[in-house]
Amino acid sequence: MTRPGLMAAAVLALAANGVALVGVARNRAGEPRAELNLTEREAPLAWVGDENSGLSLRLEWAEPRRDWSEPGWFGREELEAAGFDCSLPLDAEGAELRYRKVLPIEAYAALEYDGEAWRTWLAAEEADLAKAEAEFRRGRLDARAIDWQRQRMKGIRVGHTRLFLIDVDREAARLRERHPDGSRTLVAHALVRLDYVQPWDEARKKQLPPFLRGSVESLLVDSLHVPRAQRATLGGREDQLRRSPVTERGPMYAVRVAYGSRLEPWIADLRSLAPTPH
């Protein structure tokens, strides 16, 4: 590259960095819109670079359980609130083709930490294990299968994320009105999709009526950069964090995540945790 070309590239890079820094400053100006005290369960290690590179955490979240034969919490009404046009009746000519071609859209998602959605999901998992234990006692389930389910449940109790998706909308302000507690619920930019579902009932060997169901594909910003000053909190345990999943040992750190005016997250604090007793 010629010298003028190098200079132009440098100017562009500086300008881009300047714009990014201005955006960060605006996002963090004033009081945070939400501030949640999470752990490694909800913000595991995302990537570890070399000594001169960066360290990031990623937000780990889950959706409530849904039955295969119905839309559950994210149905037609919620899809319309997120911004999809669901006015065409499902039995209209061409409805299946139209809905199957709908592209994902950007909207907003509300995620609740350690709340009712997590407890409901956990209770359902516990109930599934109890049923499996009963089947094992009746001799209908072998030892290997029940041991796998017991180990899985143990991992859930100590390491599964407690951050659960609970609501969507095209307007962030409406979500915050419905979920005002910024210490328990965050509102974030999300990519939302619509699915046309026509379930098959295997027991009755028949097709059930179709329905529309939504899901969140991703949060548009789910990476949390660990500042160099806070990296020492992990005490050089990055390799251990990568080698053994949190579901095997429990969380090794707590992290306070703040969301600013642009609904973008950053790490406000990071501290070590004592080992989880097993």
Burial category of 164 from C-beta neighbours within 10 Å (exposed 0-12, middle 13-18, buried 19 and up)? buried
User: Is there a domain that residue 246 lies in?
Assistant: yes
User: Is there a domain that residue 121 lies in?
Assistant: no
User: Is there a domain that residue 147 lies in?
Assistant: no
* 45 backbone dihedrals φ, ψ, rounded to 5°: -60, 130
* 152 backbone dihedrals φ, ψ, rounded to 5°: -60, -45
Q: Residue 46's closest CA among 273, 263, 265?
A: 265
Look at the chain and report how many structural domains it folds into. 1
Report the SS3 class of residue 237. coil
Location of structure tokens 């839309």: 71
User: Is there a domain that residue 243 lies in?
Assistant: yes
User: Is there a domain that residue 270 lies in?
Assistant: yes
What's the domain range around 249? Answer: 28-59+222-278
Q: Residue 246's closest CA among 154, 120, 165?
A: 154
HEC string for 88-157: CCCCCCCHHHHHHCCCCEEEEEEEEECCHHHHHHHHHHHHHHHHHHHHHHCCCCCHHHHHHHHHHHHHHH
The model's pLDDT over 28-85, given as tens digits with 9 standing for 90+, comes to 667 889 999 999 999 999 865 555 557 899 999 999 999 888 999 999 999 999 999 9
Give the CA radius of gyration of the chain: 23
What is the C-alpha separation between 220 and 185, in angstroms, rounded? 17
Percent of the chain scoring above 90 in pLDDT: 72
Enclosing H/E stretch for 15? helix 3-28
User: Is there a domain that residue 47 lies in?
Assistant: yes
Q: Residue 185's closest CA among 117, 240, 137?
A: 117
Q: Residue 63's closest CA among 201, 170, 168, 210?
A: 168
User: Is there a domain that residue 254 lies in?
Assistant: yes
pLDDT of residue 196: 97
Structure tokens at 255: 């992290």
pLDDT over threshold 90, residue 188? yes
What is the C-alpha separation between 179 and 110, in angstroms, rounded? 8
60 and 45 in contact (C-beta within 8 Å)? no
Enter the pTM of the model.
Answer: 0.85
The model's pLDDT over 11-44, given as tens digits with 9 standing for 90+, comes to 443 433 443 344 466 666 678 899 999 999 999 9
User: Is there a domain that residue 39 lies in?
Assistant: yes
